[in-house]
Structure formats: C-alpha cells, structure tokens
Structure 1
C-alpha cells in the first residue's frame, strides 16, 4: 500500500497519474499547503524540502520497514521500478525516459513555475522577470514540440513516466501565455493524455480534495506559499 502525502499541485498530479494508471493500491493524506501543513514536523520527517508530494511505501520490495520517498521525479522512478511499468527495462529505452524525466524536473517545472509566480503571484510586476520566464517557457515548449514530432509520446510509442512528469506542467498553458496552436505536436500529445481515463480520475480527485479542504484566506495562503 502506498501512502501519498499530496496536494493537487503539478508535482502532486504526477503521482496520482501514475497511481491511477498502474492500479497500485494507495491512500491519500492531504497536505494543505495554503494552510502551511507542509511545515508540520510529521510531513517534514518524510519530505525535508517541505514540497509536494511524498510517499510512504508500506510494503517495499525488500520486505523491510516502510520506506519514504520525496521529490516527484524520484517517486515516479521508484514506483515505476516497483511495478515494472512505464519505464522500459532495456538500456536505451530506460536512458531516454530518464533523460526526459530529468529535463522536466530540472527545466520545464522550475521555469514554468517561475512564469506562474511572476505573472500571477508576485506582489509587483517586474517586466524583466516576466519576459525572461515567458521566453524560456516558449523555448521549452518548442523543445517538447520538436521531440514529439513523429512520436506518440515523449520516449516513443509508449506512455511513460516522462509523459506523466511533463503533462501536469502544461495543463496551465493559458496562464503561461502559451497557445497550443503554436505547438501542434504538443497539442496533440496534450489532448491524448487529457482524455485518458486515469487522467480524468486523477484530476477529478484533486479537484474534490481541494474543494473540500481549501479553507484559508488569500493572505494566509500567500504567506504560507511564498514567505515562509
């Protein structure tokens, strides 16, 4: 059984996408980041970087004590290896998936996150920062579009953890100043993943959790998200 410590952020969605696709049994422990629950000692004991998400595997493959994993890319790799799914076993296929997983965690996520911050949440508009991150966002979408030319998914014909890592960061493309018509291969890939049953379940569950628990003031949320 996987215990998922979660809030419906892009990185949180990565893990529910995997779990819904794989059918691996799991339970969710919501961590309301708007209320500052990511700073509580119980969460920090398994996620010392106080970021979403983290998991505890109650039944690890070695038969030992429960094991915790933080950082979304590491969690995806761990779950793929645990289940033998969504990560090729051959050297070349695995290497390709890991390249693109690291591309997402090192580039696509951080740059789009900065785009969101300076466009929507920063207390003052800083034109240089907005332009820098919008330009980098377009560059990264261009990289992804080129990669998807002639491929169903990022690593080739099969859906993998590379796709699960990248997709949630493209969901908010309108807020990033991106028109998917400018990136036709990304647009086709995006809608293909969006229409998967597991994707629909994962996002509906996230909306439900947030709707039930997102009880905080905007000022409280801003302080917990950006000033602690």
Structure 2
C-alpha cells in the first residue's frame, strides 16, 4: 500500500495519475494547502519543504517503508517500481528524464507564475503578467514543436514526461494561452485526457478543493505564513 499526501493541484495530479496508470494500491490523504495542513509536523516529517505531494510506500526497495517528496522524484520512483513509463534502454531513459526535468525546471515554475500573476496577485502588475504569459507561450511552443515530430514528449511512447506535463496544461486559458495556436500539443492533450487512468487521476481529491475566498487562505498560500520556520 502506498499512502499519498496530496491535494488537487497539477503537482498532486501527476502522482495521482501515475498511481492509477501503474495500478498500485494507494490511499490518498488530503493536505489542504489553503488551510495550512502542509505546515503540520506530521506532514513536514515526510515533506520538509512543506509542498505536496509526498508519499510513503510501505514496501520500499529494501522491503522497508520509504517516504519521498518532490513530484518528479516520486514519478521516477514509481516508474522504477512498476517497470513502466520510463523507457527500457539508456537512451530512452535519459530522453525521458530530460523532458521530465524540462517540466520540473520550466513548465511548472513558469506556468505557476503566469497563473499567479494573472489570477491570484492582489494587484495586476503589467510587467509580471506580460513576462510570464510570454514565457508560457514560449514553453507551449517548445512542446508543440517536439510533438510535431513525435507522438509523445520523449518519443513514440507515453512516459512520465507526459504524465508530469499534462496536469500543468489543463489550465491553459488561465495562463493566457490560445490552444488553437499549438495544434500538435492540442492533439496530444486530447489523446492523454481520454486515457482512463488520467480521467481517474484528475478526480482524486478534486471534490474537496474549493475556490480560495479568504485573506487567511491567501496569506497561507502566498503571504508571510510561507516564510516562517516550521
């Protein structure tokens, strides 16, 4: 059994989808990041960076429990455990990992900033909105070009690179993107969204997430609460 401590966000959904794709038995434990659950001592014990998701696999590589945080590391671990979605040859594995790192280092942070400054920032700062919207469009273009040559990000097979990237692109409208400008990406997006495991994965904990309406929630997610030592 794998315990996943998570919330219905792009990074959370990466792991939810992967668990569904692999067919692992798991239990999802909600970490309500708007309520501050990520700052509890219990959660910090397995995710010291106070970010979701984190997992505890009670049957780790040596037969003992292992806890992991960082969604990319979790995907690599689950792919290794399942023997799926990473590639089989060294060439395939490194190609998959480079596109996973592209998501972790570029797509996630930059689209997150685009989303923040366009939707959540208390004041609209034109420079920030333009900077991150333009970068979002650039990244979508990189993905679209890759998908003009291959069915999936790392080649002709579906991998953790696709699983990591797809949830971040579900909010394309909020990121200032016109999906019609990226036809190869749009086709890939539609293909992945129809996978049964993906449909199940994006529903995990989704019913618990509510719109952020209070200043307290904003402070927990974006304000001084983030910078306290816990």
Match of 1:44 in 2: 44
Structure 2: runs of 5+ lacking an equivalent = 226-230
Is residue 60 of structure 2 the alignment partner of residue 60 of structure 1?
Answer: yes
Match of 1:97 in 2: 96
TM-score (norm 2): 0.94
Alignment deviations for residues 35-75 of structure 1 (CA, whole Å, 9 cap, x no partner): 000001100111011111000010012112x1110000000
Match of 1:12 in 2: 12
Look up the SS of the partner of 1:69 in the other structure. Answer: strand
Match of 2:228 in 1: none
Q: How big is the shift at 1:29?
A: 0.9
Match of 2:165 in 1: 166
Structure 2 counterpart of 1:222, from 218, 223, 226: 218
Match of 1:34 in 2: 34
Structure 1: runs of 5+ lacking an equivalent = none
* RMSD over equivalenced CA pairs, Å: 1.3
Over 6 Å off, 4+ runs:
none
Look up the SS of the partner of 2:28 in the other structure. Answer: strand
Q: Is the 8 A contact 1:35 1:216 kept in 2?
A: no
Q: 1:119 to 1:157 in 2, by over 3 A?
A: same
- Give 1 or 2: higher helix fraction: 1
Q: How many Å separate the matches in 1 of 2:214 and 2:171?
A: 20
Look up the SS of the partner of 2:34 in the other structure. Answer: helix
Q: How big is the shift at 1:120?
A: 0.8
Alignment deviations for residues 106-145 of structure 1 (CA, whole Å, 9 cap, x no partner): 0000000000111111111111111100110011000000
Q: How many Å separate the matches in 2 of 1:152 and 1:217?
A: 40
Alignment deviations for residues 10-37 of structure 1 (CA, whole Å, 9 cap, x no partner): 0000001101111011011110001000
Look up the SS of the partner of 1:106 in the other structure. Answer: helix
Q: How many Å separate the matches in 2 of 1:139 and 1:30?
A: 34
Q: How many Å separate the matches in 1 of 2:206 and 2:4?
A: 16
TM-score (norm 1): 0.95
Q: How many Å separate the matches in 2 of 1:176 and 1:22?
A: 30
Q: How many Å separate the matches in 2 of 1:108 and 1:219?
A: 28
Q: How many Å separate the matches in 2 of 1:216 and 1:147?
A: 35
Q: How big is the shift at 1:217?
A: 4.8
Q: Is the 8 A contact 2:30 2:205 kept in 1?
A: no
Match of 2:116 in 1: 117
Q: How many Å separate the matches in 2 of 1:84 and 1:134?
A: 37
Q: How many Å separate the matches in 1 of 2:211 and 2:102?
A: 35
- The worse-fitting range, judged by mean Cα deviation, of 217-226 and 40-49 is 217-226
Alignment deviations for residues 139-193 of structure 1 (CA, whole Å, 9 cap, x no partner): 1000000011131111112110000000000000011111111000100000111
Q: How many residues align?
A: 224
Q: How big is the shift at 1:208?
A: 2.3
